[in-house]
Amino acid sequence: MESDRDGPRGYLRAIDGLRAIAVLSVMLFHMDALRFWRGGFAGVDVFFVISGYVICKSLSDRPERGFGEYLLGFYRRRFVRIAPALLAMLLAVTLASVLFIPSAWLSHAIDETGLWAFLGCSNIRLALDGGGYFSPALGLNPFLHAWSLGLEEQFYLLFPLLFFFQSRSSLARGGAEASGLSLLRRAAGAAARHSLFILACASFAISIIQSRGGGEFAYYLLPGRFWELALGALLCLAQRRGRLLARSAASSGLLVAGGLAAIGLSFIAADRGAFPFPWALPATLGTAMAICGIAGSGASSSLPARLLASKAASYVGRISYSLYLWHWPVAVLFRWTFGFESALSKTLYILASFALAAASYHFIEMPIRRSAFVKRQGSPRIILVSLAIIALSFLGARSMWRAQPEISLSATRDAYLWHSGRYCRDGPASPITDDPRVLGRKIFAIGDSHAAAYKTMLDIVSKELGVEVYELEEGDCAVAGLLKPMSDRARSHYERSLGEAMRLARPGDLVFLPALRMPEFADHFEAVDVDAIAEDFLGEEAARERALALEEARGIVDAFAATGAIVLIEAPLPVLLSPPYRCSDWFNRMNPVGANGLTVSSAFLEKMRAPVMESIRALKEERPELRVWDPFPVLCDHEVFSAFDDEGKPIFWDGDHLSGQGNRMLAPSFREFLVSLWTGELASPSGEGLD
């Protein structure tokens, strides 16, 4: 995403046109406006080749200097060129994120990605996090795009060293000496001269291997991407020796047109599951081909090259670095607030991205690069000051994230009300009972995220009754969920949990199996077709799945009962059609993700509960020792169920996970149920809500 304006053949204006194509293709891809533009993300690969090319040109034109002066000068130029606009974007987007993005599992990686971006390592953070570039969750991370900047910055750490020693080894060639030491030196010199090519080949091999696995390392990390930047540098070195240059207007036109066609092939046909290899090849080789035509002697008479060098294309290319910096955060902040689906929002996105990019270019980038004061400063001073500013910016961003609960504009900043388990300060200092039949009991809460969503309620009951809670939950691993059979991963979780219960449970302890036992209507990313989901849930295929799940649940109940523990299943909770945390604020109420509203008919919910309630009744009839707790009547005692209680406090965090307030509403009911269970005063099955 470089735009140095000097080089062995002067400033090549048409390269700015290539940058314009690259950044516009990425923007078009992120707008999701054209179905056939499925590979527009390959514009980043075009940037990589251009960056390698212009960096090599920049170094090639510098006069011979000592190693220290050479290296300091290079890093000085990188800091002055990259840091100001990048830091301005990171700080501004951090503040906007703190203000407008709720703290949630969907946004859990945002702060870390942003902070790692200050250090030029966000690509490493994303690779380690295991989130694929195309995952929906990362589409809501405003710092995702910084991965490519981090990768380039890591390339800048390595490339100047390679270039320096390769250049020096080239100058030292020759001599007729034939001694063993001389041959060794020649071999070392040859290795140094070809080090860039050797590393590029190694990187290409790594890219092939990693791409087969479809892993994040192939996409985000330098080892599998180095070859793309090296391709541009190798092209520059070849052109300095007079090779790979168009010699006529006709050859220039053919090279540029052919290169653009190859780039376009990646933009239209690239397969996300086969990237970077092989689908980065058309984009990278096409970029190299176009540069061969642009840098040739006939480019000035070539129509394709002249189009790339036009004023409009050149201007977009010159601001492409700032445009790349700003386009993605703008899109993501739109997604978090009023939405990014309508034609109006996409139009505003384009206008806002270009306005911010132009402001960044004209008021941050260029003034600093042209500053006489900055030019008078020595390289060591510029580097030290830049590092200090980066450190201060990092600390400032971290302080903003830490202050999010106080300064966020989202209602979800009140973690006590919204988050289950974030602040478990409820409950007495000592138990409210001295009944030995209750004190010292153990509760094993086993299941998926819906078990974790009961954390506040379980903490309150634990304090009130003097019982010990073991939370054994793993995301997407429901145990006896009664909707469908367990996955292999869920079965492994169940077997581990059963082992824990067998090891720790005493007769009379409790195994609690909460789960989502209703259809999931509220999507975190878009509004869903409620009627279609309901129809599927009441259809024959879902009924077959429930029958298999019921058979599986029989074995699960028997296995846990064999430990001597009481097995407790939770009847289906109510659910919502939209996630409250995403559409409960003045700035996101109109977001399309909340189009289905935050209320739902109790009659509809009862209809959706009915199939699972039948399964629970069947299970209870066969295994009378099974206990069932039904929280539904406590939460849904009106004709219409709302995401908020009568005082406007949230009952649910999202469509089917309880909030902290919802936990507190249920705690008395659950406590009374446990006391009656352990003291032998539990009512008949009808008292468990199964009539």
What secondary structure does DSSP assign to 199-217, as a single string? HHHHHHHHHHHHHHHT-HH
Longest dimension (CA), the chain: 103
Backbone angles phi, psi at 486, to 5 degrees: -70, 145
How far apart are the C-alpha atoms of 117 and 98, rounded to whole Å? 16
Whether 100 is covered by a domain: the verdict is yes
Same domain, 549 and 645: yes
Backbone angles phi, psi at 8, to 5 degrees: -65, -25
CA dihedral in degrees (410, 411, 415, 417; nearest 10)?
-170
Whether 124 is covered by a domain: the verdict is yes
Express each pLDDT in 521-532 by its tens digit. Answer: 999 999 999 999
Same domain, 395 and 493: no
Same domain, 378 and 477: no
Secondary structure class of 474 (helix, strand, coil): coil
Same domain, 398 and 419: no
Same domain, 397 and 416: no
Helix then strand then coil, % of the chain, to nearest 5: 65, 5, 30
Backbone angles phi, psi at 144, to 5 degrees: -55, -40
Closest CA to 254 of 281, 215, 293: 293
Same domain, 499 and 623: yes
Same domain, 333 and 437: no
Whether 74 is covered by a domain: the verdict is yes
Closest CA to 446 of 403, 493, 412, 506: 493
Closest CA to 299 of 61, 7, 13: 13
End-to-end CA distance of the chain: 67
Closest CA to 224 of 293, 151, 297: 151
- Residue ranges making up the domain that contains 369: 13-407
**Alpha helix (H) residue ranges in 337-452:** 343-360, 366-370, 372-376, 379-402, 404-407, 415-418, 449-452
Which pLDDT score is estimated for 6? 37
Whether 252 is covered by a domain: the verdict is yes
Closest CA to 125 of 140, 137, 143: 143
Same domain, 379 and 270: yes
**Alpha helix (H) residue ranges in 42-66:** 43-60
Q: Which residues of the chain have pLDDT under 70?
A: 1-10, 63-64, 168-193, 214, 422-424, 681-691
Same domain, 369 and 442: no
- Beta bridge partners of residue 447, listed in sequence order: 473
How far apart are the C-alpha atoms of 347 and 340, rounded to whole Å? 10
End-of-domain residue from the set 407, 430, 450: 407
Residues 6 or more apart whose Cβ sits within 8 Å of residue 182: 175
Same domain, 525 and 387: no
Structure tokens at 74: 């290079």
Can you tell me which residue has the tokens 């995702």? 144
Whether 7 is covered by a domain: the verdict is no
Can you tell me which residue has the tokens 């270019």? 361
How far apart are the C-alpha atoms of 516 and 454, rounded to whole Å? 12
Amino acid at 621: E
End-of-domain residue from the set 407, 441, 459: 407
Q: pTM for the whole thing? A: 0.90
- Beta bridge partners of residue 469, listed in sequence order: 443
Structure tokens at 105: 């599992």
Amino acid at 254: L
Give me the number of domains the chain comprises.
2
Same domain, 143 and 245: yes
Instruction: Judge whether 485 and 548 are in contact, CB under 8 Å.
Output: yes
On the question of a cis peptide bond just before residue 436, with omega within 30 degrees of 0, the verdict is no
Same domain, 393 and 459: no
End-of-domain residue from the set 407, 424, 450: 407
Whether 50 is covered by a domain: the verdict is yes
How far apart are the C-alpha atoms of 304 and 313, rounded to whole Å? 12
How far apart are the C-alpha atoms of 649 and 658, rounded to whole Å? 12
Whether 184 is covered by a domain: the verdict is yes
Q: Exposed, middle or buried by CB within 10 Å (0-12, 13-18, 19+), for 122?
A: buried
Structure tokens at 322: 């700032």
Whether 8 is covered by a domain: the verdict is no
Strands 599-601 and 468-473, how do they pair? unpaired
Instruction: Judge whether 563 and 499 are in contact, CB under 8 Å.
Output: no
Q: Check which CATH number belongs to the domain holding 671 and give it.
A: 3.40.50.1110
